[in-house]
Amino acid sequence: MKKPGVFGTLDPFLEIGPILGRKVANTGFLRFLLAADPFEHYHFFLSDKPMRDSVAEIVAGLAPGIAARGGFVLMDRRELPERLKTTHYACFHQSDCINSPTHIARLRNAYAPRLFPITGPIHSLSYPDFPAAFLRHLWAGATPQDCIIATSRAGQKAVEAFFAHLRQGYGLAGVPGPSIRRIPLGLDPEAVAAPLPTPEAKRELRRKLGLPVARTLILVLGRISHSSKMDVVPLIRALSRLCDEGLARDSAALVLAGWADEGDDFPQSLVNLAGKVGLTACLELRPGERRKAEILAACDLFVSIADNPQETFGLTLLEAQAAGLPVIASDYDGYRDLVAHGVTGLLVPTLGPDPKGPDPVKPDADTDAVDLLAPLLFDNQYHLLLAQRTAVDAPALAEALGALLADPELRRRMGAAGRERMAAGFLWPQVVARHLEVWDELAALPGPDIETLRHVPHPLHLPYAKVFASYPTRTLRPETRLCAGRAGQALLKGKEHPLLYAGLDQVLDPDAIRKTVFLARNGATAAEVGLRLRELCPGLSADRAEFHILWAVKHDLLQTVREP
């Protein structure tokens, strides 16, 4: 049975470009939401026609059954006010919690007949302009139905810390904000459905991929950059430490696979560094999905030592465990939610800076140089600074590596347990089901009467007419007198037709334009024309009536009458 109401979004959820966790997660969510098909209709409000056409084609391919029944409606964002008035929305869900949710909430409060959930997940949270983005969530029109979906416990605590910091800094102790719920990201069920390779199949894969056949292969998969995700050098040093303690250098090899920019020589420098300490490192740049699956199947052990706050969840850890690999991961961010320590892998302790600040005389002083510099630096510059002051415990990392390299049976047990854990709670159908439960829960929460929110402004919505009132010679006042202009007189005689530019069809109505001119034909005040126009055009708002009047004056359909 379909859920009552319509699913709405302003996002396509489908992005091109470099493979990033955010893009993979958003595509997976949309794909399996449409596969579950819980709603009768899905409304996409997109920014331009080429995007609407592209998304329409893609979603029709993803869900031909929905397309066949007319379940996809792709619209211009300027249609939002009218659609909100007339459509029963079950929820609006964005691909992130940053850009649009609060703006949608303001429109909902102004036009919708009832409150409905507006949600969006977190992704990377470490950008210096994000305090301004989270500040948008703290306003008098926020309701419990507005919700940020945290993908991890650490991410949820970070969001809560954002709001605590902002409330303290701006004196917003009593100002409401959104709800927060926790739902992880997910995997395609096919990831745990296919059988694991036999030893012989694994050897054949290694030959095909050009990887050492007889060694224990340690896989690192992700963005290969010391300023993004993780610094791999500590892993090389930990392996070198093990070799100094007796591990045969030819018994294991490191496989570095993932994204790096064309021409970036850093990945090769890691291979060279490994070679200098007698270790073999194999480089696999920008593998496609099929080749990535083959690399996962060919390896024995997965390592990810995230040290960068840019990482919030860790999709690669799900993929590795679904492939039956035991995981060694830093005890950092969302990783600790994904690895059951001692069961599916091992978590390595990490050490970060004291949050009270570096000043021993004023321990609470906010004088951290990185904090002060971050807004002035490029992303890779401040993220490098942040990551390099986060340490993964080197002896503990070496110990974890030693334990799993020495015990194939332990690797097998942990890999099997990880695959089972992924199947039990980290598949996209399960994640989508949790979203459906959260939307129902949010919709049932007590909230303010929406009528009390109609005219509650959002402080970060610029009131253009007020701010720029000094620009025009004068402004349209209720007492401003109007009459038909030369073009307006021709319009009333059927000798002139309004010329409407593309993009104005959601604001201007040709019939309303004619009525505007007709109402002012013998002279009338702006207040009189506006009031009568709204009576003749039910549903026309006061601001749209004013728009019609001003547009008519602009095009000489109306003219103002100067007082003697």
DSSP 338-382: H--BTTTEEEE-EE---TT-S-SSSTT----HHHHHGGGS-HHHH
345: left (phi over 0), alpha (psi -120 to 50) or beta: left
* Residue 282 three-state SS: strand
Nearest one of 257, 277, 275 to 267, comparing CA atoms? 257
d(CA 10, CA 71): 16
Nearest one of 240, 235, 241 to 255, comparing CA atoms? 235
**What would the two tokens of residue 133 be?**
């983005």
d(CA 287, CA 283): 10
Question: Is the distance from CB of 343 to CB of 415 less than 8 angstroms?
Answer: no
d(CA 564, CA 550): 22
pLDDT of residue 226: 85
Name the maximum alpha-carbon separation found in the chain: 102
Find how far residue 266's CA is from the centre of its chain: 28
pLDDT of residue 355: 85
Question: Is the distance from CB of 394 to CB of 241 less than 8 angstroms?
Answer: yes
554: left (phi over 0), alpha (psi -120 to 50) or beta: alpha
Question: Is the distance from CB of 246 to CB of 320 less than 8 angstroms?
Answer: no
d(CA 297, CA 292): 9
Q: What is the dihedral of CA 100, 103, 104, 106, to 10 degrees?
A: 160
pLDDT of residue 389: 93
d(CA 345, CA 105): 42
Q: Look at strands 558-560 and 481-484 and give their pairing.
A: antiparallel
Question: Is the distance from CB of 376 to CB of 128 less than 8 angstroms?
Answer: no
d(CA 254, CA 248): 14
pLDDT of residue 562: 80
Query: Residue 7 pairs with which residues in a beta bridge?
Result: 42, 91
Q: What is the pLDDT along the chain (564 residues), one digit of tens a residue?
A: 788 899 999 999 987 655 567 788 999 999 999 999 999 999 999 999 999 999 999 999 999 999 999 999 999 999 999 999 999 999 999 999 998 999 999 999 999 999 999 999 999 999 999 999 999 999 999 999 999 999 999 999 999 999 999 999 999 999 999 999 999 999 999 999 989 999 999 999 999 999 999 999 999 999 898 888 899 999 999 999 999 999 999 999 999 999 888 888 899 999 999 999 999 999 999 998 899 999 999 999 999 999 999 989 999 999 999 999 999 999 999 999 999 999 999 999 999 998 875 566 655 556 788 999 999 999 999 999 999 999 999 999 999 999 999 999 999 999 999 999 999 999 999 999 999 999 999 999 999 999 999 999 999 999 999 999 999 999 999 999 999 999 999 999 999 888 888 888 888 999 999 999 999 999 999 999 999 999 999 989 899 999 999 999 999 999 999 865
500-509 long-range contacts, CB within 8 A, separation 24+: 503/78, 504/551, 506/76, 506/78, 506/79, 506/82, 507/78, 507/544, 507/547, 508/547, 508/548, 508/551, 509/537, 509/540, 509/548
d(CA 190, CA 526): 64
Rg (CA), the chain: 29
**What would the two tokens of residue 157 be?**
């605590």
pLDDT of residue 366: 65
Q: Look at strands 42-46 and 72-76 and give their pairing.
A: parallel
Taking the model in full, what pTM does it have? 0.92
d(CA 184, CA 430): 10
Backbone angles phi, psi at 314, to 5 degrees: 120, 65
CB atoms < 10 A from the CB of 419, how many? Answer: 20
Q: Look at strands 42-46 and 6-9 and give their pairing.
A: parallel
- Say which DSSP state 228 is in: B
Q: 467-479 burial, b if ≥16 CB within 10 A, otherwise e?
A: eeeeeeeeebeee
d(CA 280, CA 272): 9
CA–CA distances in Å: residue 203 to residues 108, 208, 213, 286? 58, 9, 6, 22
First to last CA, the chain: 69
pLDDT of residue 20: 66
Q: Look at strands 301-304 and 327-330 and give their pairing.
A: parallel
Question: Is the distance from CB of 179 to CB of 147 less than 8 angstroms?
Answer: yes
d(CA 394, CA 167): 38
pLDDT of residue 368: 84
